[in-house]
Structure 1
Amino acid sequence: MAKMQANQMRAGMVIEFEGQRYTIIRQNIMIPGKGNAIIQVDMRNIKTGAKKDQRWRTADTVERLQTEDKEFTFSYAEGDMIVLMDPETFEQTQVPKDILGERLPFLVENMTVGVRLIEGEPVAMTLPEQVTLEVVEADPVVKGQTATSSYKPAVLSNGVKTMVPPFITVGEKIVVKTEDGSYYERAKS
């Protein structure tokens, strides 16, 4: 942790305030008619996601936390933890599964993931934008249904349900977006 003056805060920085960690969303310096400038800061609580408006005087100091974005390789999941490996040192790090929320099923073995560390503690995790998965269940195409008509439901090898074009069949590998599980394209073999 390092102290810095309130007027040095910038978007993307992480600070500790009242025992909580916040990401700075934006800051404005307001100069009233009389008196000293005020720094108006919009920030988001890292744990709860709640937004907060806070004002400081320029002379005030805040605790800036060291952040680091690092790539890890996903090894395996155990209980409610995800085990990651540092590709450089081969050291293992554990992070709670809930760090990924609804994107958890798209975590695939040996996938490279991005982890944001604050003071060495993992607080956020990003997945690649797309992942290739196998279709394990898909409705058969209805006779007379054209290729341009609506998508049909399918189940992927990770248990996620998604909608796929009518020409996709069981056993095929498709590329889906990790953000929402939506169909992107047929995987290139």
Structure 2
Amino acid sequence: MPKINGNEIRPGNTLEHDGGLWVAVKVDHVKPGKGGAFAQVEMKNLRDGRKLNERFRSADKVEKVQLEQKDQQFLFETDDMLTFMDTETYEQIALPADILGDRRPFLQDGMIVHIEYYGDEALNVTLPLRVKCKVVETEPVVKGQTAANSFKPGILDNGVRVMIPPFVGTDEDIIVNTELFEYVERA
């Protein structure tokens, strides 16, 4: 694995540090008036989700890890385990449902997701950024409420509650951002 200097760490980099795999979430380069410059790095553990703030000076060496990304298709869920299939080799892998966290409701049958591997260990599952959902419940439009930034609550077919524009009604398909849990556009 390549070693990089502490000042070369960028957000999104995967690092091996203190015997664990960490992803750099936020990086601030600090140049104090006295002493040398350093990078203040906020990291998240890929295995257990712990967070850590660490300082790296430019002379510090860190192992940068390359994760292998594979596109895999979601097949089914049984006993809190999600089964995915590699679209090239047709091999199947079962992962715990909590690997998706609060984005779990957006996973749909047959959906292609990106799974990041470190060797044979699956560390992360990334859903598509935009997913099509149906509005199953919402409030009726209040006449005269035409402000551009007025939104109303809506409940989607997967049970997630999002704020939607007043012109969207029940049984309409919309596109939702899976990272921000926000309405994007009509489908």
State whether TM-score is above 0.5.
yes
Which residue does 1:159 correspond to in 2? 159
Q: Which runs of 5+ in 1 are unaligned?
A: 29-38
Work out the CA distance in 2 between the residues paired with 1:151 and 1:63. Answer: 46
TM-align CA RMSD: 3.3
2:20 maps to what in 1? 20
1:53 maps to amino acid = E
- Measure how far apart 1:181 and its partner are: 2.0
Give 1 or 2 for the bigger CA radius of gyration.
Answer: 1
Compare 122-131 and 39-48 and name the one that shifted more.
Answer: 39-48
Q: Percent identity?
A: 35
Q: Matched residues in 2 for 1:98 and 1:73: separation?
A: 17
CA–CA distance in structure 2, aligned partners of residues 76 and 157 of structure 1: 18
Aligned 8 A contact 1:114 1:126 in 2? yes
Equivalent position of 2:128 in the other structure: 128
Distance 1:139 1:13, change over 3 A: closer
8 A Cα contact 2:15 2:62, kept in partner = no
Asked whether the 8 Å contact 1:66–1:119 carries over to 2, the reply is no
CA 1:62/1:126 → structure 2, altered by over 3 Å: closer, same or farther?
Answer: same
* 1:37-52 superposed matches below 5 A: 42=41, 44=43, 45-46=45-46, 47-52=48-53
For the structure 1 residues 160 and 21, does the alpha-carbon distance in structure 2 shift closer, same or farther, using more than 3 Å as the test? Answer: same
1:139 aligns with 2:147: no
Q: Secondary structure at the match of 2:169?
A: coil
2:79 is matched with: 79
The verdict on how the C-alpha distance between 1:51 and 1:141 changes in structure 2, with shifts beyond 3 A counting, is same
Quote the residue 1:33 is aligned against.
none
